[in-house]
Amino acid sequence: MRVVLVGPPGSGKGTQAKLLAAHYGIPQISTGDIFRASIAAATEFGRRAKHYMDAGELVPDEVTIAIVRDRLAQDDTAPGFLLDGFPRNVPQAEALRGILDELGTPLDVVLELQVDDDEVVRRISGRRTCRKCGHLWHVEFDPPAVDGVCDVCGGALFQRDDDLPETVLRRIEVYAEQTAPLIGFYREAGLLRSIVATGQVDEITKHAVDALESAN
């Protein structure tokens, strides 16, 4: 199965991507993870990506497309893949279609996770990251035993720049401007399935699997 997962920031794409990839035995390809690894390693690309991410902007298409092209050409994607965080706009979607045409592996389904703006801000602005081990906590949904201290390693927790409320609001604006048109693009292609991504994680996963199975 070849799947693209779309939805606003904070819609649970990362969580559902991991669960769905494991369910179908296919690799999860997350551009966000690639970006963050590059930032942590202080590579030239990481510095470029951080500039855009901290401002709530998208990393330039040409950089993102090149990374995805290389990843999709690897052998472990032969049984399928789940793309999380790409494409984020119509030009990227057109580039992806070209890449998959070259590989002879057309897309099967695009799953949209629907979450309203207030819930997005609530989810993202409550995140706290451990400076030492990188573990992610949430002040409301998954708080540490001691405020500001990681239960795993005792490291200090902080709020990433791209999780600040003002940055989250900008990210929502960017999504509406650049990513939301993907919905129409994939609906016209007959590939779109949509679910409401609120509630318990396992319930959302069940709805997601049902939607994917209906597409196949």
Given 2, 13, 50, 71, the catalytic residue: 13
Given 69, 160, 170, 187, the catalytic residue: 160
Question: Which has the closest alpha carbon to 70: 44, 102, 93, 39?
Answer: 102
Active site residue 13: yes
Structure tokens that stand for 60 in this block:
């330039």
Could you tell me if 86 and 96 are in contact, meaning their C-beta atoms sit under 8 angstroms apart?
A: yes
Given 71, 127, 128, 193, the catalytic residue: 127
Contacts of 53 (CB under 8 A, 6+ apart): 35, 39, 59, 162
Structure tokens that stand for 125 in this block:
């602005």
Instruction: Using the Cα atoms of residue 171, residue 187, residue 6 and residue 210 in order, give the sign of their dihedral.
Output: positive
Residues, the chain, total? 216
Structure tokens that stand for 214 in this block:
């209906």
Given 88, 123, 128, 193, the catalytic residue: 88
Q: Which helix (H) or strand (E) holds 193?
A: strand 192-196
Could you tell me if 16 and 5 are in contact, meaning their C-beta atoms sit under 8 angstroms apart?
A: yes
Active site residue 160: yes
Contacts of 210 (CB under 8 A, 6+ apart): none
Active site residue 36: no
Given 123, 128, 171, 193, the catalytic residue: 171
Question: Which has the closest alpha carbon to 93: 182, 161, 163, 15?
Answer: 182
Active site members:
13, 88, 127, 160, 171
